[in-house]
Homo-oligomer: A and B are copies of this chain.
Amino acid sequence: MMSGTELARAIVDQAAHRAADYEKHTGRKPCLATVIVGDDPASVTYVRMKRNRCHRAGLDSRLVSLPEETTTEQLVAAITELSNDPEVHGILLQHPVPKHVDERAAFEAIAPDKDVDGVTMHSFAQMSFGEAGFTSCTPGGIMRLLDAYDVDPRGKHAVVIGRSPILGKPVAMLLLARDATVTICHSKTENLPDVVRTADIVVAAVGKPEFVRGDWIKPGAVVIDAGYNEGNVGDVAFDEAVGKASLITPVPGGVGPTTIAVLLEQTVDSAQRQLAAL
């Protein structure tokens, strides 16, 4: 069976092929602009990794690196400039931004047709209503994994642990659009282990290392670990859960690589759509 890394490679290979096509027709490469505020080491690493992947796949990348003390207004202005720049096809604002910045306002400055990271309210509503548009990258990657593993969510009980605007909520909506019965759990959920025990599909998106224990997993369930905590540890206690689950994604090498793959793919999508709209 295909690993997350292999699936991601297949997605990126296709995107690279289409990027080359795009370049042949236009003389330009699809371009992803990445905005980072401050110098959090993990964020700097992520951004570097994403840019490297862009280049290897034949995409251009533009880096906008802003100081820690950037205000919401300054960040919104920088993103708006990218939204209006015809040479930019996709915009990624690296999460998290410093606490004094209104992240939602910054996300909303991304033009919907360049929201290749799927973070705007517009993209969320599109995912929720089954309209064509960009998916949030990690939720999009999760759906691709399920497809690659022939897991049909229809009629299944999917339990999503976590309700963030770019992971828990959108993946819940994408699973619902594929006809799963969806339960959204979070820090205020009572008897969480019992709720998880009813799940045919578990999506762990909590951000706490090994939070989901093996005895929470119904035998035969599909376990998607979308966590990525310090020390390369997921949200699921893998060693405990692996014997119970019919299928479980590891960390690293599971959801992570597909996230970046979807980002690149959607950047190429955006470039091609822009071309088609001319």
Contacts and interface: CB of A to CB of B under 8 A. Distances in A.
Contacts of A126: 121
Contacts of A131: 104, 121
Interface string A89-124: 000000000000000100000000000000001101
A179 B188 contact: yes
A255 to B, nearest CB: 22
Contact of A179 (B155, B179, B186, B198): B186
Interface string A182-196: 111110111000010
B184 A163 contact: no
Q: How large is the interface on A (under 10, 10 to 19, 20 to 34, 35 or more residues)?
A: 20 to 34
A129 B176 contact: no
A125 interface: yes
A184 B153 CA distance: 14
A181 interface: yes
A154 interface: yes
A43 interface: no
16 contacts: A121-B121, A121-B122, A121-B131, A122-B125, A125-B125, A129-B169, A155-B189, A155-B190, A156-B190, A157-B190, A163-B176, A176-B186, A179-B186, A181-B188, A182-B184, A183-B183
* The 7 A-B residue pairs with the shortest CB-CB distance in the complex, in nearest-first order: A121-B125, A179-B188, A183-B183, A181-B189, A155-B190, A125-B125, A155-B188
Given A169-B176, A181-B195, 12 more contacts: A104-B131, A121-B121, A121-B126, A121-B128, A121-B131, A122-B122, A124-B129, A128-B165, A155-B190, A157-B195, A181-B188, A183-B184
